[in-house]
A and B are shown apart, each in its own frame.
Chain A
Amino acid sequence: MEVPKIVEELKPFFEPKAVAIIGATNKKGKVGNVIFENFKRNKEKGIFKGNIYPVNPKLDEIDGYKVYKSVKELPNDTDLAVISIPAPFVPATMRDIAEKGIKAVIIITGGFGELGEEGKKLEREIYEIAKANGIRVIGPNCVGVYVPDTGVDTVFLPEEKMDRPKSGPIAFVSQSGAFAAAMLDWAALAGIGIGKMVSYGNKIDVDDADLMDYFIYDEQIKVVTFYIEGVKDGRKFIEAAKRITKVKPVIALKSGRTEYGAKAASSHTGSLAGADVIYDAVFKQTGIIRAEDFEHMFDTAKAFAKCKLPKGDRVGIVTDGGGAGVMASDAVAKFGLKMAQLSEETLNFLKENLPPHAVAGNPTDVVGDTDAQRYKIAIEAFVNDPNVDAILVIVLFQVPLLNEEEVIEILAEYAKKSEKPIVAVAMGGRKTEHYAKLLEEKGVPVYPTPERGVRALADLVRYVKYLEKVKGE
C-alpha cells in the first residue's frame, strides 16, 4: 500500500523532533504556561523525546529552558509550532514560521472565525500563508493534540484539574475543545485508553477527512471516534470515510440532531430533508457507526478496541441472574441481533456439568449460588458452539459464593483465546465498579447494563456486515 503524503504531513503533530511553544510564559495558569509545563513534565518523565523551545520576546529562560526571542532564532530542527499568542499577532508569526520552514502548526488561540467577520479575515490570511508554504494547521480555537505515547500534550487544562487517559488503540477527534477535555478526563477515570486525541476547533485546514486518511496508516489505532458539529467539505469527508471504514471502524457522535433545514424547500423531498437525516445518510453510506451519545460512542469504541469481530449476529448469554438475562435477551431483539440456538452437544455438555438447578440454554443461568467454575463451564461451551457468534457474560458480583478474582481470570482467559467477541456486563455499585475495572484492565470490555453491552455487540455486527457488503469492490 502506497502511503499518501498526508501521513508525512501530519506526523510532526504526533511525534515532533522539536516543538516551539510560541507564547510560552512562566505565569502559572496561562495557556502558554500549561502547554510548556505539559511538554516539560513529559520530557522529565522520559516520554517526550524531542526538544522544547519556548518562544517569548520578553523572557530569557523559563524553568531552566532557554527562551527564544522570535521564531527566526529557533534551531533548525523545529518541526512543530504551537501558538497561543493573541489572534491579531498570529498572521505575522505564521510568516516567520513559513520562512523558518516549519510545516506543522497548532493554533490554540481563539478569537477567530467564531467571533465574526474580522476573525474570519484573520483565518483566511493564515490559511493563505499556510497554503502557499505547504504548512498544515490544526485549529485555531482548539485544544490541539494529545498523544500519551510520545508526550505531545497541547491541552491547556492543567494536569491538577484534568486527568489524562492512558494510551490505547482508540483515536478521539473532537471539533469542540471543551468536550475533548471533558472526555479525556472522563476516559482517564473510566480506564479507556486513548492513543491519539485531536481537537481541531475552527479547522481552517486539517479536517476530519485528513485525520481519517492519517489513521488508516496508524498501526496503533484500531478504532476512530469523532465528535462532529459540522462538516465543511462533504464530498471529501465521504471519500475519506469510505477509505477508512474498509480498514478500521469509525464511530461518530454528531450534535444538532434536532436541527431542521432552514432552507426553503419547494419539493416534498426537500421538506423532509433536515440536516440530520442527511448526516444519517452519509454515515450509513460510508459505514460510519453513529453514536446516540458519548456513552454509546465509547461503549462501542472499547468493544472494537478489545474484541475480535464476530462472524455473525447470533448472541449467547451467560448470567447469574435471571432478570438480567431477560433484559439482555430483550436488548438482543431490540438491536436487531439473534439469540443463538445452542447445539445439542452444547446443551448436553451444560446439563452434564452444571448442577440441576442451573438453567442450561440461552441464556444459560448459572444462578445465584454460582462459583467461578460454573462460568468457566458455560463460557467454554459457548465458545465451542458453532451456533454462537458473540458472547455476553453477565456477572452479578454480589452473589455470595463467587470468587471475584477467579471469575475475572476466567473471562480474561477466554476473551483472549477465543475467536469470538466476549463482552461482560456488571451491574451494581461501588464494589462492582472496582471489579469491573479490574476486568477491563485484563482486556474485557465491561458495561453497566445488559442493554449497553448488547448495543456494543450490535455495533460490532453492524460493522462486520458493512465490511461484507463492501468486500470485493
Chain B
Amino acid sequence: MKEDALKVIKDVLGKGRKELVEYEAKQVLKAYGLPVPDEKLAKTLDEALEYAGEIGYPVVLKLMSPQILHKSDARVVALNIKNEDELKKKWEEIHENAKKYRPDAEILGVLVAPMLKPGREVIIGVTEDPQFGHAIMFGLGGIFVEILKDVTFRIIPIEEKDAWAMIKSIKGYPILAGARGEPPADMEALVKMILKVSELVDDLKDYIKEMDLNPVFVYNEGEGAVVVDARIILK
C-alpha cells in the first residue's frame, strides 16, 4: 500500500517536480484502495484507440503534462468521445491546444477514461497547518465550495465518527441525504473514502503538502463513489 504510493511520489520528486499530474495522483490514491475510474495512460494514438476499445465508448481524453495543471483552462480535456474517428480528431485537437497554451509543455501521455455517469459532486481535500499538522476537508462541489465555502475540516488522523460528523455538519447535507424526493447518496462510501484519505496522508505526511480530490462523484446509496479528478502537491 504505502510502498506503491511512495514509489510514485519518489519518482515524481526524482524528476524534480513538486506536483503530481492527475494520473500520478490517482496511482497514489489507488494504492490506498480509493475508488478511481478504470483508466489508462496512452503514449500514442494507437494506444489510445486500443484502450478506448477496451474501456468501451464513450470515453474521455485528458492530456497529462506537468506544465498544464489547470486542464480545462488549457482545453486539453475532451469529453464524451463516441467512436474511433472522433477520438483521432480530439487527440489532435488537445495536443494542439496544449502547444498553444504552453509551447514548452512536456507531455507525459493522454489519460483514456470512461465517460462517467454524473453523480452528486463532492470535494475531499487536504492542507497542512503549521500548528496542528495536516487537516482534511470535506464539502459539496461546484458552487457550494466555490461561492458558499460550505466545507468542514478535521485534523488528521480522523476516526469514523469524525468522518460522519463532517458529512453531517455541512449546510448542504440534505442534498446528500436526499432532498426533493431524490434517493440518499452513498454516504458509507464517502465515509470510507474520507477515512482512506486520512490514512494515506497520515502515512505519507512527510511528503504530502496539499491535496484536492475534486470532484468526487457520489452515487445513490449502495452504488459507491469515484474520484474524478485529483491533485497532490508535495512538500
Contacts and interface: CB of A to CB of B under 8 A. Distances in A.
11 contacts: A231-B132, A267-B212, A268-B214, A269-B126, A272-B149, A272-B151, A273-B129, A273-B153, A281-B153, A282-B155, A285-B158
Contacts of B127: 265, 267, 269-270, 272-273
A232 interface: yes
B154 A272 contact: no
Contacts of A282: 132, 155
A266 B208 CA distance: 13
Contacts of A273: 127, 129, 135, 137, 153
Interface in A201-241: 230-235, 237-238
Contact of A284 (B129, B151, B154, B214): B154
A280 B153 contact: yes
Contact of A238 (B132, B153, B165, B211): B132
By Cβ-Cβ distance, the 10 closest A-B pairs, closest first, are A269-B125, A234-B132, A267-B210, A281-B153, A234-B131, A273-B127, A270-B127, A278-B129, A269-B127, A270-B210
A469 interface: yes
Interface string B198-235: 00000000000011101000000000000000010100
A268 B19 CA distance: 14
Nearest to A470: B161
A253 B90 CA distance: 56
A345 B107 CA distance: 77
Interface in B143-180: 145, 149, 151-155, 158, 161-162, 165, 169
A285 B154 CA distance: 7
Given A267-B125, A273-B137, A230 B131 contact: yes
A268 B214 CA distance: 9
A470 B130 CA distance: 27
A275 B151 CA distance: 14
Interface in A229-260: 230-235, 237-238
Given A267-B125, A269-B212, A278 B149 contact: no
Interface in B119-142: 123, 125-127, 129-133, 135, 137
Contacts of B152: 281
Nearest to A469: B161
B187 to A, nearest CB: 17
Interface in A439-467: none
A278 B151 contact: no
A62 interface: no
Contacts of B132: 231, 234-235, 237-238, 278, 281-282
A265 to B, nearest CB: 7
A277 interface: yes
A272 B165 contact: no
Contacts of A238: 132, 155
A273 B153 CA distance: 8
B212 to A, nearest CB: 5
B149 A269 contact: no
Given A278-B129, A281-B152, A285-B154, A267 B231 contact: yes
A268 B145 contact: yes
- Chain B contact patch, size range: 20 to 34
Given A266-B19, A281-B152, A284-B165, 6 more contacts: A230-B131, A237-B132, A265-B127, A269-B137, A272-B125, A273-B137
Contacts of A263: 130
Contacts of B210: 265-267, 269-270
Contacts of B130: 263
Contacts of A275: 129
A467 to B, nearest CB: 12
B153 A268 contact: no
A275 B132 CA distance: 10
Given A269-B126, A272-B145, A234 B133 contact: yes
Nearest to B69: A266
Nearest to A286: B155
A277 B145 CA distance: 14
Contacts of A234: 129, 131-133, 155
A408 B60 CA distance: 73
Interface centre among B153, B154, B231 (most CB of A within 10 A): B153
A267 B134 CA distance: 13
B153 A278 contact: yes
Given A234-B132, A285-B162, A268 B233 contact: no
Contacts of B154: 281, 284-285
Contacts of A277: 151, 153
B31 to A, nearest CB: 20
A275 B155 CA distance: 12
A257 B151 CA distance: 16
A268 B129 CA distance: 14
Given A277-B153, A278-B155, A285-B155, A268 B135 contact: no
A268 B165 CA distance: 22
Contacts of A281: 132, 135, 152-155
Interface string A266-310: 111110110101101110110000000000000000000000000
Contact of A272 (B133, B137, B158, B162): B137
Nearest to B162: A285
> Which of B132, B135, B152, B169: most chain A CB closer than 10 A?
B132
A432 B233 CA distance: 60
B19 to A, nearest CB: 8
A234 B129 CA distance: 9
